[in-house]
Amino acid sequence: MAALQKSGLYYPNKMGLIALRSLEEVMGKNGLRTILKLAGLSRYADRYPSDNLQKEIDFAEISAIGRALESMYGSRGGRGLALKAGRAAFPDTLRQFGALVGVADLTSSVLPLQAKLRIGLNAFAQIYAQLTDQRTGVEERGGDFIWTIYKCPYCWGRHDEQQPVCYTATGLLQESLRWLSGVREFRVQETACIAMGDPACTFLIHQEPMS
């Protein structure tokens, strides 16, 4: 793979640590070690990022892992693993950052489901606003929710893709909605992607759960 061209935009080390642990959970330590080498990130193979909030995980590193997954497992297989890793990362993300934005007890609230989703999605967007260089917006259209990433780490530096590539973000959203709704599944569809030439990465969250 081509050498990384740093973006100058960052996630905190703690989020990088969560991401690598979730990938290890999905594909095993040896599989992750291979992916990190392919992505040009071998330094993380034996020493994961520190458990702190210093912003040192460049967006380009996050994107490189996605590219490496697709290079090794093919488009379908790599994106499937990224989706699973995103879902696996959510519980730890919630434990580490949920209290920061006041959502830890949201599932026990008597609020209607739509209100829980609205509060939860906006709270999760605030986590990224406060701790990362990712910029995220949430809005409602006809009862559906639109989650928009204006500076996206998952497709940073990728161009001319034929379909959206931010499957880790899709997985994170799917699992967050499952938690907010009390284990119901929601359809999350990335309808626009910076890697395809769009101005932002946009995810449509359908208001009606699938189950």
Q: What is the pLDDT of residues 10-63, one digit of tens each?
A: 999 999 999 999 999 999 999 999 999 999 999 999 899 999 999 999 999 999
191: helix, coil or strand? strand
Every domain of the chain and the residues it spans: 10-205
pLDDT computed for residue 1 by the predictor: 61
pLDDT computed for residue 171 by the predictor: 97
Strands 201-205 and 144-151: antiparallel
DSSP E strand stretches across 69-187: 135-141, 144-151
Could you read off the pLDDT of 92-148 as tens digits, one per residue? 999 999 887 777 677 667 788 888 899 899 999 999 999 999 999 999 998 899 999
Separation CA 163–CA 153 (nearest Å): 16
Q: How far is CA 1 from CA 57, 66, 76, in A?
A: 19, 12, 19
Separation CA 96–CA 195 (nearest Å): 30
Separation CA 29–CA 35 (nearest Å): 10
Greater model confidence, 191 or 98: 191
Could you read off the pLDDT of 57-95 as tens digits, one per residue? 999 999 999 999 999 999 999 999 999 999 999 999 999
Please compute the mean of the pLDDT values over residues 146-165 and round it to a whole number.
Answer: 95
pLDDT computed for residue 4 by the predictor: 67
pTM beyond 0.95, yes or no: no
Please compute the mean of the pLDDT values over residues 170-188 and round it to a whole number.
Answer: 92
Any idea which fold 10-205 has?
A: H-NOX domain (3.90.1520)
